Structure 1
């Protein structure tokens, strides 16, 4: 009885929310009534905003709290995507190097794809292998291992690998125990114990624990340092790697790897935090000899995002930090820039769809083709969705629907969001 009552209240609230949204969109004189009803819904104890922009008419059709600051979570990856498109070429800049006969001096650019468990790219490895003598310059980054404001207890989780100038294997150890215990890269095989433990790795050392009940393959970040990277490089190259303090005199060349769009798509569709952080480091490699997320962010804010309606507080590429603050107005503005500067076909391939291939596990709306191309952003008590919406008549709208500090289950927030966006799709 209690469950049925709650379900009834929930769907009644959704219906009222959508009805009052439609009334509000018909006449500005009804906005006050809409705002009142919106605040009386279960969202009234949280902080929320909706901004909708009609691209065809270049006109904002609705704005509620659009100028207020929200914690964006992974909506930050939209800004990271835009940063990549402004600074990076079509192919990832994998290495910077100087070659002298059969000797190569190289340094990392932050390219995340090298030997990555998903990309499995070894293009740069094959390039380096052509040289008999290899020198590596590892001192070209000002980055800490984590971004500011990241949660310390995430150190053993797959979504929180350390940042580095020369990431290898995605900076994670891939572990599996069926039919026998194996680790990739093999360097860590002797550092894995099959046992129950509070964490999957010791916080400051590469000692790993695999719960015997886990039968699936798991990824655990490893502690990165110069010695570990040198050993991994030696193993995969099959030759010694010498470390040098500085490059020889002369201009550096850039060796390019896989298409950047494959990295962007993986970041957006899987909300991959590691790829997002490394994209900002990659961007900084085109601006300075020292890799720095802060350099990429500051250059974007000064050069390409100086016209945002409200200037953000932006501290990382992934949105893991709760220090990030963006307004929905600013996210809509960035989404407009992306739509203006990138073909819609390419753009909609980079953004996840609200269907079983992207944002939700199942598509439960027969008679409707997926019509939302958007990036979600969530962590505890926060759920945001920003992107593009195709209406029934084929118009393209930009929207940002942000929700912070709620205490209801997040699936109720997602239900609100979809019901509202579906009503806009049907009406226009």
Structure 2
């Protein structure tokens, strides 16, 4: 009996010890959970360790990241600390995210106050209001020139040069660049979409024209160009000859615009499209504008040409475009491809290349990115100025390095102001505890998108007022961008709560 009693006592002690250990473990788990929740929720801030954990959870759980190549890098710009890096060195197609690379090099090359110019030159003597020779329009790299600017130039030709008659014609001089009109790797079936414009040193309305389709009394379509020009030709076609089912289109690498004259419309419709060679279109447009301003045109005779060759020095008018800072704001906010491609050529010219083509511009900018911005060779492949080419490649690491460089440069303010802004969707409780409650948008970043590509790189301001540089790149998904946008918001909601 005594032995049995001792055995029972030992069993009871063992059971008590087990229960005590379980209680201690539960208390420890509760304390750890309390500390974690307090760090992540009570003051709504995340330190670097918890931020990394939370971002891992977001990327591991989101459906988009399961089938899509998603890379993310985040750096605290004040401390220089890398807060997160998932696949930061992996190369991805950037789409328009490449525009920040072009913007950075352009600012360093020209400065934010630089303005590009367009010249109108009277190539012949002007006597009693008669120009014996051609009126030449010379492209100088102002990608922001509009048809309204051209109309003002036509008026200045009359008012300032005193021209009432031209024995000659209007000539567009695009000799500043090599004659190639399209960039490497541009998709042929993007023609004639407005974003796939031909690139020349003289750009008017980004080399995109407007076709106005108007129904007649019976509802059938007739077409005209707006503003008017005698080029390109407008051709009415029926269903049997049409290139697809569009109301109006242009076959790739051809000039005539075909419209469906057999189709009926309820109301006028405007379509924007590119033309293959913009030079004749601009010349026709300026000719029409000059005629409306009261200028008459006569074909030159042999005698008139001889007189022009012995005449006085040519007279010029200069149109000055907006500052580079203003141009870049349009470039990045609207994501205007034409601006980037013109800047690529102008950067090559500034480095001594005559009549540059895309390879020379890409080489000049790539060299600057490595030597000046200190990007790692092999961390990017720069091919065109806008990101339209699928040959372009960047990494989250190269983008963040560039953003870090810009933060320390004299060009940071104009670059930062050129970036589009986005809101981070936060609940009121999170905002209530923020030390930085500025109404300014928390994200200033450039996005990019094309089929299977959605990217964004830029700056994010935390609730604690710290500035982070981030790059979130997604390639290889099917469908629209909405799932990637949702992933982006989830990442931002974690980043804004970072506190050092």
TM above 0.5: yes
How much does 1:398 deviate? 0.6
Structure 1 residues 175 and 408: alpha-carbon distance in aligned structure 2, compared to 1, 3 A threshold: closer
- For residues 214-363 of structure 1, what are the structure 2 equivalents within 5 Å? 217-224=270-277, 226-237=279-290, 256-287=320-351, 288-306=353-371, 307-311=374-378, 312-342=380-410, 345-355=413-423
Residue in 2 that maps onto 1:390: 461
Displacement, 1:328? 1.0
CA apart distance, 1:235: 3.3
Using structure 2 for the length normalisation, give the TM-score: 0.67
Look up the SS of the partner of 2:72 in the other structure.
strand
Q: Mark the CA change 1:195 to 1:332 in structure 2 (over 3 Å): closer, same or farther.
A: farther
Shifted more, 275-284 versus 413-422: the winner is 275-284
Q: 1:97 to 1:34 in 2, by over 3 A?
A: closer
Aligned-residue CA RMSD (Å): 4.0
Q: Deviations over 1:289-339 (max 9, x none)?
A: 414333232122223433212432111111111110111111111222222
Q: In the TM superposition, what is the alpha-carbon distance from 1:202 to its structure 2 partner?
A: 2.3
Taking a change above 3 Å as real, the CA distance of residues 297 and 116 of structure 1, as seen in their structure-2 partners, is farther
Q: How many residues align?
A: 393
Deviations 1:149-181 (A, max 9, x none): 111111121221111122223211123447986
Distance 1:81 1:213, change over 3 A: farther
Q: Does the CA-based 8 Å contact 1:45-1:406 persist in structure 2?
A: yes
Note closer, same or farther for the CA distance 1:397–1:192 as it changes in structure 2 (3 Å cut). Answer: farther
State the Cα distance separating 1:231 from its structure 2 match.
Answer: 2.9
Could you tell me how far apart the structure 1 residues matched to 2:124 and 2:114 are? Answer: 26
Question: Can you list the C-alpha shifts for 1:227-254, whole angstroms capped at 9, x where unaligned?
Answer: 44433343345567999xxxxxxxx999
3-state SS, counterpart of residue 176 of structure 2: coil
Partner of 2:176: 140
Looking at structure 2, the residues matched to 293 and 81 of structure 1 have their Cα atoms a distance apart, in angstroms, of: 16
Aligned-partner Cα distance in 1 for 2:322–2:213: 31
Secondary structure class of the residue paired with 2:455 = strand
Structure 1: give runs of 5+ residues left out of the alignment: 1-18, 244-251, 356-362
Give the one of 95, 100, 109 matched to 1:78.
100
Instruction: Check if 1:187 corresponds to 2:229.
Output: yes
- How big is the shift at 1:122? 6.0
1:186 aligned counterpart, secondary structure: coil
Residues 174, 200 of structure 2: 8 Å contact kept: no
Aligned-residue offset at 1:404: 0.6
Contact 1:386 1:400 in 2 (8 A): yes
After TM superposition, the score normalised by the length of structure 1 is 0.77
The farther-off stretch of 217-226 and 416-425 is 217-226
Aligned-partner Cα distance in 1 for 2:452–2:280: 40
Matches within 5 A, 1:56-135: 56-89=78-111, 90-95=113-118, 107-116=138-147, 120=149, 130-131=160-161
Distance 1:291 1:235, change over 3 A: farther
Please state whether the residue corresponding to 1:426 is helix, strand or coil: coil
Q: Which deviates more from structure 2 when the two are superposed, residues 61-70 or residues 226-235?
A: 226-235
Structure number, greater radius of gyration: 2
Distance 1:419 1:215, change over 3 A: farther
Aligned residues of 1:159 and 1:272 also touching (Cα < 8 A): yes
- The residue aligned with 2:491 is 420
**Are the aligned partners of 2:48 and 2:498 in contact in 1 as well (CA < 8 Å)?**
no
- 2:245 corresponds, among 195, 198, 207, to 198
Tell whether the 8 Å contact from 2:181 to 2:200 is kept in structure 1 after alignment. yes
Deviations 1:197-255 (A, max 9, x none): 53432221231437736755431112215444433343345567999xxxxxxxx9997
1:67 and 1:310 in contact (8 A); partners too: no
Q: Where does residue 45 of structure 1 map in the other structure?
A: 67
Task: Note the C-alpha offset of 1:25.
Answer: 3.5
Q: CA deviation at 1:378?
A: 0.8
8 Å contact kept, 2:209–2:272: yes
Q: Deviations over 1:383-427 (max 9, x none)?
A: 111101011121111100001102364211111111111221123
Using the alignment, how far apart are the partners of 1:232 and 1:184 within structure 2?
A: 9
Report the secondary structure of 1:74's partner residue: helix
The 1:144/1:37 distance shift into structure 2, 3 A limit, reads: same
